[in-house]
Structures are given as structure tokens and as C-alpha cells.
């Protein structure tokens, strides 16, 4: 289990590292913040005016959980309006040094976000989330001219619904990246969970990617629950439990980054994921090795 045909790639993002052997490296836990209509956090969403005390507490609570579990804290920074870009990015980089997945909600926000990230000098801490099969040549061109080196590619495919079809999408992306002079950069692949039936497919393609390319992989497993119709009507108010399962089950595919949804769920998902990682570390015994001292297995007991 977790033995691959190629060496696993590890990328430096700010002071943290993402990727590697799932048995010995911690998973990057990506909490989403400032998403559209997030409760309690906005005073004026359109202009990026926020409750700074509440937002800072969410971010610091996640960092404290990372210290307790040995997992890596990251932010998925959703930007829904152009007027939000400066105030929200300024606030985040002032209070934390964790990796930032930049996640503009609309295509037309990508380029101004990209420009501002470079303006404030944090491209080494940023992961561009994300390139799609439909991304334009203009987007590729801007990225090739930028200083950002870390990119997520979303392995979305909606025609054949097979692992092989998604692998072909990824191969096409790598060709486009090479043509746009991005080949020397750091690629992270999102296995793409859109709804319930794609969770297994995403896990299959992520395992195949690690085996063939060694790229760090991850996904938002909780999307499967968000789109689960009739969940509450049939089974009651268990969405939060199902979301934890949908997220942590992806660790069985060796995910290197886990987009676990709203950051306010960190208190449940961090210890749960750390528990699974502790179990995975025991696989190193087959090679008479042990996990490093800062691994979750030594943190959570």
C-alpha cells in the first residue's frame, strides 16, 4: 500500500512542504474561508469588510489544531468581488504565514488576483487554484509571465466518466503547460469530486497520478455530501458526519492536500485525519522504518 512506480514530488510552499510518501508526510489541510455568504464573517461582503476578530480566530484555531496534530494548515481563499481582493489578501498575509490556495470565484477575478499577489510579494506562498481543461490561452500566458510556481489542475471530465478519460485530460493539461513554458513549475492535481458518484472516480485517478507522475494530489471529498439530495429527508441531520467521512476516505488514495470545506469544521476534521495518518505510518514498519518525530502518530496520543 502506498508504494509507487515513481518518486513522489514534494513542493516547498512558503515554510511548509506539500507532497511525498503518504506514510511519512503530513497531509495539507485546506480550510475554505471568505466564501460567498459565509456566516458571521462579513460586514460588507462586496467590499471585503470583515469581522477581523472572528476571521482571525478561525485562522488561528486551525493553526493550533495543526500544532496539536502535526498536519499542515492551509487556507482556500475565496474571492467573490474584485473590490475584496486587496483588503482580504492584506488581512490574511498580515496575520498568518500558512500556504494560501488562491481561489477566485469567477474567471474575471483571476487576473487581478494574480496581479495583486505579485504586487504584495507572496507568490512563493500561493497555490493557484485552479487551472481547468477550459482555461484560456490568455490565462496560461499570464501564469507563464508570473512568479507563481504552484498550480492546481482540476481533473474534470464529464463525457466518459472513467479513470482513463481523466488521465487523458491530465495528459492534455501537461502538454498545454509545456507549450506555455509552465513545465518547470509545481503541479498539484485535484481529482475533482463533483457529486456522490464521482468520489470513487476521483480516488482512482489520484492513485493513478501518484503512481505515474508522483504529483501531489488532493480533492474536496465533502462536495459529494453537499450535492447529496435527500440526505436529510432519508437519514436525518447527519451532514456534518457524512462530510467528515467523505473527506477522510480520500486519505486512502494517498491525498497530499485535503480541501475539507468551511474552516469552521477544522475542530472535527483535523483530529480525524490525524488518526488516519497515524494508522498509515505503521505501514513503514514493513520496511523497518518509522515516521519522523513530528508526524501525527507522535502528536495525537
Domain membership of residue 49 (yes or no) is: yes
Confidence tier at 107 by pLDDT (50, 70, 90): confident
Percent of all residues in the chain with a pLDDT value above 90, rounded to a whole number: 95
What is the number of structural domains in the chain? 1
Residue 213 is assigned to a structural domain of this protein: yes
Averaged confidence pLDDT in the chain:
96
Whole-number pLDDT of residue 36 = 87
Q: Is residue 246 part of a domain?
A: yes
Q: Is residue 2 part of a domain?
A: no
Res 105: pLDDT: 87
- DSSP E strands in the chain: the ranges are 11-13, 16-18, 28-33, 42-44, 49-50, 72-79, 100-104, 126-131, 150-154, 186-190, 217-219, 257-262
The residue-averaged pLDDT of 174-184 equals: 94
Burial 40-56 (b: 16+ CB within 10 A, else e): ebbeebeebebeeeebb
Q: Is residue 159 part of a domain?
A: yes
Question: In this predicted model, what pLDDT tens digit does every residue of 130-167 receive, in sequence order?
Answer: 999 999 999 999 999 999 999 999 999 989 999 999 99
The arithmetic mean of pLDDT across residues 72-96, rounded, is: 96
Residue 3 in domain: no
- Please enumerate in sequence order all residues whose Cβ is within 8 A of that of 33, keeping only pairs 6 or more positions apart, or say none: 41, 55, 58, 59, 75, 76, 77, 78, 262, 263
Segment 87-91 shows an average pLDDT of 97
Establish if 212 belongs to a structural domain.
Answer: yes
Kindly state the average pLDDT of the residues 277-293.
Answer: 96
Instruction: Provide the percentage of residues in the chain whose pLDDT is more than 70.
Output: 100
| Residue 1 domain flag | no
Distance between start and end Cα atoms, the chain: 24
Q: Which domain holds residue 190?
A: 11-298
Instruction: Say which CATH number the domain at 184 has.
Output: 3.20.20.20
Range 87-99 average pLDDT: 97
Amino acid at each position: 500500500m502506498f508504494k509507487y512506480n515513481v518518486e513522489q514530488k514534494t513542493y516547498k510552499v512558503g515554510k511548509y512542504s506539500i507532497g511525498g510518501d503518504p506514510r511519512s508526510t503530513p497531509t495539507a489541510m485546506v480550510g475554505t474561508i471568505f466564501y460567498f455568504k459565509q456566516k458571521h464573517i462579513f460586514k460588507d461582503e462586496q467590499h471585503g469588510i470583515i469581522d477581523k476578530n472572528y476571521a482571525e480566530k478561525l485562522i488561528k484555531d486551525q493553526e493550533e489544531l495543526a500544532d496539536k496534530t502535526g498536519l499542515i494548515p492551509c487556507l482556500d481563499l475565496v474571492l467573490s468581488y474584485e473590490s475584496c481582493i486587496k483588503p482580504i489578501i492584506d488581512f490574511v498575509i498580515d496575520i498568518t504565514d500558512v500556504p494560501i490556495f488562491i481561489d477566485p470565484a469567477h474567471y474575471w477575478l483571476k487576473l487581478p488576483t494574480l496581479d495583486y499577489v505579485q504586487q504584495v510579494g507572496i507568490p512563493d506562498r500561493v497555490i493557484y487554484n485552479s487551472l481547468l481543461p477550459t482555461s484560456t490561452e490568455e490565462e496560461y500566458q499570464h501564469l507563464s509571465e508570473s512568479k507563481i510556481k504552484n498550480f492546481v489542475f482540476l481533473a474534470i471530465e464529464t463525457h466518459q466518466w472513467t479513470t482513463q478519460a481523466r488521465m487523458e485530460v491530465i495528459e492534455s493539461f501537461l502538454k498545454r503547460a509545456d507549450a506555455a513554458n509552465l513545465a518547470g513549475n509545481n503541479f498539484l492535481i485535484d481529482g475533482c469530486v463533483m457529486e456522490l458518484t464521482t468520489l470513487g472516480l476521483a480516488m482512482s485517478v489520484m492513485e493513478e497520478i501518484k503512481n505515474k507522475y508522483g504529483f501531489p494530489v488532493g480533492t474536496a471529498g465533502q462536495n459529494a455530501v453537499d450535492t447529496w439530495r435527500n440526505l436529510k429527508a432519508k437519514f436525518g441531520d447527519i451532514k456534518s458526519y457524512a462530510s467528515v467521512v467523505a473527506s477522510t476516505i480520500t486519505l486512502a488514495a494517498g491525498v497530499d492536500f485535503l480541501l475539507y470545506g468551511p474552516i469552521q469544521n477544522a475542530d472535527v476534521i483535523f483530529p480525524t485525519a490525524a488518526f488516519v495518518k497515524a494508522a498509515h505510518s505503521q505501514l513503514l514498519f514493513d520496511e523497518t522504518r518509522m515516521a519522523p518525530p513530528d508526524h501525527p502518530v507522535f502528536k495525537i496520543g
